[in-house]
Amino acid sequence: MNSLTNVEKSFLMESIRDVPDFPKPGILFKDITTLLNNPEAYSLLMGHLEARYGEYDLDYIAGIESRGFIFGAALAAKLGIGFVPVRKKGKLPSATIAEKYALEYGFDEVEIHIDAFGGKEGAKVLLIDDLIATGGTAAAAAKLIKDAGAECVEACFVINLAFLGGTRKLADITPHYSVLEVE
């Protein structure tokens, strides 16, 4: 399986800008826009993902709103497969299924179209997003994929904020992979 060297991982990490106190004081935001506008870094990342998932025999890639769309749609195009958006409640125009998940104070919800996987029972789906923090959105999205009759073969993240433990929420739902780890 394709893996990145420590030098390549360092290069990718250095291409991501840290923004202190965003969106609120005390948060160090990992801004991937600087990776996206660096053609060498973005090409390295997408080449790595293409090599990793090229032999998974995937049917679809599902990307979590909104930054998961950037990586998911590009990877789906590279692999010649379909892309499915996982959106916040009320953003999709046709019949949907939804999954709620807990926030620090309250709940949120994500949706996919009921026919997102073309009626193909057991479709093999990769879930992708830019970052996993507490894991609520990713766990809800992985459950949605299963609820739609597909198989979430893996959840992929460019960055795992490991100190927040989000991947633990995925442990019983789907395997996961992160390109970069922040301890």
pLDDT in tens, the chain (183 residues): 579 999 999 999 999 999 999 999 999 999 999 999 999 999 999 999 999 999 999 999 999 999 999 999 999 999 999 999 999 999 999 999 999 998 777 899 999 999 999 988 899 999 999 999 999 999 999 999 999 999 999 999 999 999 999 999 999 999 999 999 999
104 catalytic, yes or no? yes
3-state SS class at 78: helix
> Which element (helix H / strand E) includes 30?
strand 28-31
pLDDT of residue 1: 54
Widest CA span in the chain? 46
Burial of 67 (0-12, 13-18, 19+ CB in 10 A): middle
Indicate which residue of 55, 104, 121, 183 is catalytic.
104
Active-site residue 67, yes or no?
A: yes
Strand partners, 183: none
- Of the residues 8, 50, 65, 67, only one is catalytic, namely 67
Q: What is the pLDDT of residue 103?
A: 79
Nearest Cα neighbor of 58 from 66, 50, 48 is 50
| Concatenated DSSP letters of the chain | -----HHHHHHHHHTSEEEET-SSTT-EEEETHHHHT-HHHHHHHHHHHHHHHTTS--SEEEEETTHHHHHHHHHHHHHT-EEEEEEETT--SS-EEEEEEEETTEEEEEEEETTTTTT-TT-EEEEEEEEESS-HHHHHHHHHHHHTT-EEEEEEEEEEEGGG-GGGGGTTT--EEEEEEE-
What pLDDT, in 10s, does the model give residues 50-63? 999 999 999 999 99
What structural domains does the chain harbor?
Answer: 57-182 (3.40.50.2020)
